[in-house]
Amino acid sequence: MTALSTTPAPGIPWTRLVRVELRKQLDTRAGRWLLGLVVAVDIALMSLLLWAGEPGALGWAGLTEAASAGQLLLLPLIGVLAATSEWSQRTALTTFVLEPRRTRVHGAKAAAAGVLALVVMVATVAAAALANLVGGALRDGAGPWQLEWAFLGGNLLGLLLLVLQGLAFGLALLSTPAAIVAYLALPTAWTLVGSLVPALRTPAEWLDMSGPMTQLMAGTTSGGDWARLATSTALWVGVPLAIGLWRTARRDVA
Amino acid sequence: MIEISHLTKRYGATTVLDDVSFRAPAGRVTGFLGPNGAGKSTTMRVLCGLATASAGTATVGGHRLRDLPNPGRVVGVLLDASAQHAGRSGREVLTLSARLMGLPAARVRDCLALVGLTDAEADARTRTYSLGMRQRLGLAHALLGQPQVLVLDEPANGLDPAGIRWMRDLLRRFADDGGTVLLSSHLLREVEAVADDLVLIGRGRVLAQGSTTELLSAPGTEVRSADDGALARALLGAGHEVRPLDGGGLGTSADAEAVGRAALAQQVVLLDLRPARSAGIEDLFFTLTAGSAREEAAA
């Protein structure tokens, strides 16, 4: 008893927690497959654009935009898995013994997924630059090298929001299939309903993420668009995240 | 030292733990026995901060596990050997936890060697592991942070006889070095062989607790004599309980001196006189849990 109280072990530093969570997102087959698919889809889309695209559509920005589709679709699923696999694979039983502050663990998962998104984004921009050079050699001269900061920043922020949304849906539902289906289907269904029902058109403007996200990634968000991005993000990222954190904070681990 | 104090846990109207209190002192192996659904795992989950008690406390060295900054360095936990990510290798499982706890990579190799998992086994994904291998991996995981306290839920489950003996020796050494061990089991013989103290639980209540020897030694003596009938009458006359034993002879609540004096007074020759045979932990287990066991467990 005295031995315990006189030797307090130092706590787990935040960066260490994030590094371990990042490793956990990539050390399983599912994680590696998803990342591999992101790379494969990105390369395929860039190649397609290089081969078949109009010479005018080529260029650093155009190639980056085309290549981003893979990660926008698939990287959020790594966020989903990071949240759900603890419960579906029952590793929560060890994770939350080693670090009992569960919300801190989930913060580290979000940070790790964010770091992964940043790395993938940087790699995509670099790959697009390479593709632009190749395009210059194969087609009539390299496309424009213009790359707006608003476009770059918008794409990165958009990717981060989607990954966080994946994590949030995972935490709220704690089941991999349910979270993936809900993450993919619910926002789209809502967009559809909003456009079909005239009475919902005005609220949908404020509560539908797809419009503001498209603007964000095109780098054309301005003025009231930011407010619409904020309200729709609060609904589609903030609400599931709050439900998920609340649900997991004191839930009994079986 | 582990201290469970007035622990109560309710799920809606169901009471899973009802005022459970016991201690597992340092330097001893405490066996936590009970039929399925008795509340062993729930008690351990509350102790490990994975479940919240409705009332009462569960502490290690006076601290709740949730309040320790790096709990893995104080308490080694194995609650369910099957609860590992099927897609990770055993080595990866240990590496993740070692990094989280801030341990050198060599500690992973040491623990794998300690539990006897080969390099090839350690590199295979846990999906392919047998239950025995999972238990070994789980024990390696519990020992990783060089803890002073071990909390193990059914660790012998799935181990072969050699593995069970190996684990018994390991836990004995751990306790002899001053560590605290709390291990649950329904393998009664296994607990009898290794536990210094026993806590019996049924339907969420502690039914008996004490040192293993204390709980297992029955009071009284067993005696054979040239004239059991005369001796029995004398002992009954002196107010002791007497019952015939299956293989001949008497079992009695009288101690050796009282039996000797009765025999002397009656001039009966004693052929055999010994302390009453230990009831056996199995008898104790079934006697104490018969009323509270689930039907399939009692069958």
DSSP H/E element including B78: strand B75-78
Give me the amino acid identity at B102. Answer: G
**Closest Cα in chain B to A98:** B72
β-strand B180-185 against B29-33: which pairing, if any? parallel
- Phi/psi at A115 (5° precision): -60, -45
Query: Which residues are within 8 A (CB) of A236 and not within 5 positions of it... i.e. 6 or more apart?
Result: A165, A187, A209
Burial B158-177 (b: 16+ CB within 10 A, else e): bbeeebbebbbebbeebbee
**Predicted pLDDT of residue A219:** 85
**Predicted pLDDT of residue A53:** 74
Q: What is the rounded average pLDDT for all residues in chain A?
A: 89
Query: Residue A143: pLDDT above 80?
Result: no
CA–CA distance, B53 with B45 (Å, rounded to integer): 10
* Inter-chain residue contact B101 with A12, CB threshold 8 Å: yes
Query: Which residues are within 8 A (CB) of B189 and not within 5 positions of it... i.e. 6 or more apart?
Result: B281, B282
**Tens digit of each residue's pLDDT (9 = 90 or more) over A181-238:** 999 999 889 888 888 888 888 888 888 888 889 889 888 888 888 999 999 999 999 9
State how far Cα B212 lies from the chain centre: 10
**Tens digit of each residue's pLDDT (9 = 90 or more) over A9-48:** 678 999 999 999 999 999 988 899 999 999 999 999 988 8
**Predicted pLDDT of residue B277:** 66
* Inter-chain residue contact A89 with B85, CB threshold 8 Å: yes
- Selection from B36, B47, B108 nearest residue A252 by Cα: B47
Segment B17-37 shows an average pLDDT of 94
Query: Residue B250: pLDDT above 70?
Result: yes
- Selection from B218, B213, B225 nearest residue B273 by Cα: B225
Number of CB atoms found within 10 A of residue A141's CB = 9
A61 contacts A147 by C-beta, under 8 angstroms: yes
**Predicted pLDDT of residue B281:** 61
**Predicted pLDDT of residue A6:** 42
**Structure confidence at residue B295 as a pLDDT band (50, 70, 90):** very low
Percent of chain A scoring above 70 in pLDDT: 94
* Inter-chain residue contact A3 with B148, CB threshold 8 Å: yes
Alpha helices of A53-148 — where are they, by DSSP H?
60-88, 92-98, 102-138
**Structure confidence at residue B299 as a pLDDT band (50, 70, 90):** very low
* Out of A134-143, B219-228, B277-286, least confident range: B277-286
**Predicted pLDDT of residue A124:** 93
CA distances from B225 to B222, B239, B248, B261, B265 (A): 10, 19, 10, 13, 14
**Tens digit of each residue's pLDDT (9 = 90 or more) over B106-155:** 999 999 999 999 999 999 999 999 999 999 999 999 999 999 999 999 99
Give A32's contacts in chain B (Cβ within 8 Å).
Answer: none
**Predicted pLDDT of residue A58:** 75
Pick the residue with more confidence: B191 or A169?
A169
Q: Nearest by CB to A9, which of B51, B74, B79? A: B74
Q: Is the pTM of this model over 0.80?
A: yes
- Phi/psi at A200 (5° precision): -90, -5
CA–CA distance, A186 with B50 (Å, rounded to integer): 32
* Out of A241-245, B77-81, B271-275, least confident range: B271-275
Count Cβ atoms within 10 A of the Cβ of residue B85 and give its class: 0-12 exposed, 13-18 middle, 19 or more buried. Answer: buried
CA–CA distance, B101 with B203 (Å, rounded to integer): 36
A3 in contact with B, Cβ within 8 Å: yes
**Predicted pLDDT of residue A186:** 92
Q: What is the ipTM of this complex?
A: 0.89
User: Position of tokens 């424009």?
Assistant: A144
Query: Which residues are within 8 A (CB) of A51 and not within 5 positions of it... i.e. 6 or more apart?
Result: none
B233 contacts B290 by C-beta, under 8 angstroms: no
Query: Residue A141: pLDDT above 70?
Result: no
**Tens digit of each residue's pLDDT (9 = 90 or more) over B160-203:** 889 999 999 999 999 999 999 999 988 777 788 899 999 999 88
Alpha helices of chain A — where are they, by DSSP H?
2-6, 14-26, 29-52, 60-88, 92-98, 102-138, 149-173, 176-196, 201-207, 210-218, 224-233, 239-250
β-sheet with B55-60: strand ranges across: B14-24, B2-11, B55-60
Nearest-neighbour CA in chain A from B48: distance (Å): 6
* Inter-chain residue contact A97 with B50, CB threshold 8 Å: yes
Query: Residue B289: pLDDT above 70?
Result: no
Distance in angstroms between the alpha carbons of the first and the last residue of chain A? 29
**Predicted pLDDT of residue A56:** 66
Percent of chain B scoring above 70 in pLDDT: 93
* Inter-chain residue contact A98 with B62, CB threshold 8 Å: no
Q: What is the rounded average pLDDT for all residues in chain B?
A: 89
**Predicted pLDDT of residue B298:** 39
Number of CB atoms found within 10 A of residue A18's CB = 19
CA–CA distance, B27 with A56 (Å, rounded to integer): 78
> Residues in chain B whose beta carbon is closer than 8 A to a beta carbon of chain A?
1, 26, 45, 48-52, 60-63, 65-66, 68-75, 77, 79-80, 82-88, 92, 96-97, 99-102, 141, 148
Per-residue tokens: A179: 């979270």
CA–CA distance, A135 with B145 (Å, rounded to integer): 54
Pick the residue with more confidence: B287 or A99?
A99
* Inter-chain residue contact B26 with A1, CB threshold 8 Å: yes
**Tens digit of each residue's pLDDT (9 = 90 or more) over A47-83:** 888 888 776 667 888 889 888 888 999 999 999 999 9
CA–CA distance, B82 with B67 (Å, rounded to integer): 27
**A121: phi > 0 → left, psi -120 to 50 → alpha, else beta; which?**
alpha
Per-residue tokens: A143: 């496309």
CA–CA distance, A253 with B45 (Å, rounded to integer): 8
Pick the residue with more confidence: B30 or A58?
B30
Per-residue tokens: A170: 């995972």
Segment B257-284 shows an average pLDDT of 82
CA–CA distance, B113 with B91 (Å, rounded to integer): 11
